[in-house]
A and B are shown apart, each in its own frame.
Chain A
Amino acid sequence: MVWRRVFRTLTEGPATERAAPIADAATQALVAQLDAAAQVRLGRSLSIRHLDAGSCNGCELEIHALNNIVYDLERFGLRFVASPRHADVLLVTGPLSRNLREALVQTWQATPDPKWVVAMGDCAVDGGVFKGSYAIDGTGTGGIAAGVPVDLKIPGCPPAPAAILIALRTLIEANVGGRDG
């Protein structure tokens, strides 16, 4: 039965969608933001470590979708890794829960430089609906920036997989773009 499906995939082609184009403006904006030294060494692939800093788990569902065969983020050189020590990118969801702040900072410290931090979802961007709660760290603009420096913000509740994918691919383009720029 498995082979019948594999054979159909070979004949009908995979279920994976064509990649959407990357807006050049977005890339240039990000290039300006990124630290020039970091751009040179990372090449076209990025290892991502996910971290839930208090999420409602809605964002996690859409990160799982990135790994499904329709989005298949690995074809862009993006892959999730098990440990922050192997990561180039920390993909962080949720408002910064005080009960998880220490673990977030330790994870950030464990991630080798050069590294990027992506705040994914309205909660990670500025606390979202949970803004003002005693249970989250809302200093500054709120969100996870209250705990670690953030390089890229992806709004949405939750952001759709297509939007997350474009943002992460922009990170690659900006990284590679920097070297040719």
Chain B
Amino acid sequence: MTGPATQIILRGTEEACRPWTRRTLTREDWTALVAALPAQPALALVALWADTAQAHALFMDEASGDILPVSTAIVDGGYPALSPVRPAAAWLERMVRDLWGHTAQGGTDDRPWLDHGRWPHTHPNAIRPGPMGPPPEPPEFLPVTGEDLHQVAVGPIHAGIIEPGHFRFTAQGETVVRLEIRLGYTHKGTLSLMRSKSPRAAARFAARLSGDSTVAHAIAFARATEAALAVEAPARANGLRGVMAEIERIANHLGDVGAICNDASFAFALARFGFHREAMLRAANAAFGHRLMMDAVVPGGVAGDIAPGGAEAILAAIAGVEAELPELTRVYENYSSLTDRVVGTGAISRTLADRFAAGGYVGRAAGRTGDARLHPGYAPYPDLVVVVPSLAEGDVDARVRIRLAEITESIRLLRILLEDLPAGALSVVLPMLSGEGIGCAEGFRGDIWHWLRLDNGQIASVFMRDPSWAQWPLLEAAIEGNIIADFPICNKSFNCSYSGVDL
């Protein structure tokens, strides 16, 4: 039985978009869709973006599995807002307004987001960008009422080796009453730089949206291009993409677990997990010529084959991880001072995680089970049985345990991928055609979705959705009721990308 909102979407006029047909709704139907969404909570909002003429949204029906891109024309400079019924839309609507100038009519928040009043012009992605805005005012933060509250402002320059962001805490004594995050500091105008470039040239930007997920973003971008052009990457290329993606997942999880323990000043774990991360990066360098495997995945396939000795280097590195991981896990579990810091800290509920359709370890530590490798699924994973861990506590400890379980699973997948690596071509030639495509990949942090429209082989319009869009807002909720001193460990357990959402 299709839900009420899905039925409205299916009424839209079909647009050629692969692999999931996009539908354009009239303004009335889009308004009806907004009204119907509360009655179908399982229809999750995955992404919201725009081009110069339309607003676009990507929904996934978590009951049926349907993936539904939907659009509506911009009328009177805007479109009916989704944020009143889908909270995850709030930041995305502010991003759309800052970049394209389209207003989310009836939206919950119309403050600027990426535009800090520093760009030479406003609405840089619009057909006619506006003149530079007024001189920047101090940003407006959400008011908080209550007695003897005080505000703590942190960043954008803060103590660690970390990306810049501003964290405005309102606290009562030590306990955080509200946290509001302000990002946008690493905005580089990536989407507009990608316009009118060939997919191969634009892929360098996708690979640099968030350096820690360079392989996953490159895969999603490549798959969106291949879908738009109705071509398939060769089997060997898909196998190598799987190898790189799982190396990236393991390396990031190792780094994160070490860093989370370090935020509880447990240096032993940082040293040992950091050692194994270094081993993984050296294996990646031996196999693919770059420690982070940047630019190794390209639209149409992969840039180069796995180097001689590369597979052996990878197998040796994961053997080292596998040998010490049980002992490190026991150490993690047996130090009561560490357990005291991670258990019960920064907890989020399943309902909240569901409202934002949070993916990755953030969602799976709170009871969700989604993984893009399973659904919608993409090569080389369909013939591999990917085991997805899930826990219910939703706290820092659960996010650590999900990572530890995913390291073990990715080691298993890597061995199969390396053993069954198909022979054959590394890439296909991309035809210079027009078309529209959506690509998806499971990054270490969660599901990544890219959409692009090609015009005679050049990028006409593009959007890249990092999983952090659905996770940052949950960090604001997770810290409530915790002490400010627990923010670093909470923040590290989320490890959201700043550059990934700053675009």
The reply on A56 being an interface residue by CB < 8 A is yes
Task: State A49–B184 Cα separation when bound (angstroms).
Answer: 22
Q: When the two chains form their complex, are residues B188 and A130 in contact, meaning their CB atoms are under 8 A apart?
A: yes
Q: In the bound complex, how far is the Cα of B291 from the Cα of A160, in angstroms? A: 8
CA distance A16 to B268 in the complex (A): 15
Contact A135 B210, CB 8 Å, known A68-B274, A69-B271, A129-B204: no
A21-29, A90-98, A142-150, A168-176 - the one binding chain B:
A90-98
Closest residue of chain B to A129 (Cβ to Cβ) is: B204
Contacting residues, chain A, for B163 (C-beta < 8 A): 52, 55, 57, 60
- 1/0 per residue, CB under 8 A from A, across B153-197: the answer is 000110111111000000000000000000011111110110000
Q: Chain B interface residue count: which class?
A: 35 or more
A132 to B120, CA, bound (A): 12
Question: Which residues of chain B are within 8 angstroms of A94 by Cβ–Cβ distance?
Answer: 186
Instruction: Find out whether the CB atom of B278 lies under 8 angstroms from the CB atom of A82.
Output: no
**Interface residues on chain A, number (Cβ under 8 Å):** 49
Please state if B187 and A99 are interface contacts (CB–CB under 8 Å): yes
B331/A135 in contact, CB under 8 A: no
Cβ of A59 within 8 Å of any chain B Cβ, yes or no, is: yes
B427 CB-CB contact with A under 8 Å: no
Alpha-carbon distance between A137 and B292 when the two chains are bound, in angstroms: 27
How far is the CB of B165 from the nearest CB of chain A, in Å? 10
Chain B residues near A80 (CB-CB < 8 A): 161
Contact A52 B186 (CB under 8 A): yes
Is the CB–CB distance between B327 and A136 below 8 Å? no
For residue B24, CB closer than 8 A to chain A, the reply is: no
Whole-angstrom distance between the Cβ of B155 and the nearest chain A Cβ: 9
Asked if A133 is at the interface of the complex by the 8 Å CB criterion, the answer is yes
Please tell me which one of the listed residues B120, B185, B208, B271 contacts residue A100 in the complex, with CB atoms under 8 A apart.
B185
Would you give the shortest CB distance from A73 to chain B, in whole angstroms?
A: 12
A162 and B289 CA atoms in complex are apart in Å by 15
User: A36 at the A/B interface (Cβ < 8 Å)?
Assistant: no
Contacts of A103 in B (CB 8 A): 156-157, 164, 185
Whole-angstrom distance between the alpha carbons of A80 and B161 in the complex? 9
Asked whether B291 lies within 8 Å of A62 as measured between CB atoms, the reply is yes
- B186:A1 contact, CB within 8 angstroms: no
Nearest Cβ on chain A to B62's Cβ, whole angstroms: 30
Q: Does B145 contact A (CB under 8 A)?
A: no
Inter-chain contacts of B272 with A (CB < 8 A): 5
In contact, B164 and A52 (Cβ under 8 angstroms): yes
Whether the pair A56, B211 counts as a contact (CB closer than 8 A) is: yes
> In this assembly, does B118 line the interface, its C-beta being within 8 Å of a C-beta of chain A?
yes
Interface string of B199-236 (1 = CB under 8 A from A): 00000110011111010000000000000000000000
Q: Which residue of A lies closest to B118 (CB)?
A: A98
Residue contact A58 to B187, C-beta cutoff 8 Å: no
A99 touching B184, Cβ below 8 Å:
yes
Interface residue? B374 (CB, 8 A): no
**By the criterion CB–CB under 8 Å, are A97 and B278 in contact?**
no
Query: Which residues of chain A come closer than 8 Å to B278, judged between CB atoms?
Result: 65, 68, 70
Is A57 a contact partner of B498 (Cβ separation < 8 A)? Answer: yes
Whether, in the assembled complex, B334 has its beta carbon less than 8 Å from a beta carbon of chain A, the answer is: yes
* Contact partners of B118 in chain A: CB under 8 A: 98-99, 101
A157 sits at the interface (CB 8 A): yes
Docked-complex contact B292 and A158, CB < 8 angstroms: yes
Query: Which residues on A sit within 8 Å (CB–CB) of B294?
Result: 58, 157
Q: Judge whether B41 is part of the interface by a CB distance below 8 angstroms.
A: no
Q: If A68-B271, A68-B274 touch, does A56 touch B208 (CB 8 Å cutoff)? A: yes
The 6 closest A-B CB pairs, nearest first, are A58-B211, A135-B189, A68-B274, A133-B189, A82-B159, A98-B118
- Which residues of A are in contact with B by a Cβ distance under 8 Å? 1-2, 4-5, 15, 50-65, 67-70, 80, 82-84, 94-95, 97-101, 103, 106-107, 129-130, 132-136, 157-158, 160
Query: Can you list 29 A-B pairs with a CB-CB distance of less than 8 A?
Result: A5-B272, A15-B275, A52-B186, A53-B164, A54-B186, A55-B186, A55-B211, A56-B188, A57-B498, A57-B499, A58-B211, A58-B292, A60-B163, A60-B211, A61-B255, A63-B161, A82-B160, A97-B187, A99-B116, A99-B185, A100-B156, A100-B186, A103-B156, A129-B208, A132-B193, A135-B187, A136-B188, A136-B189, A157-B294
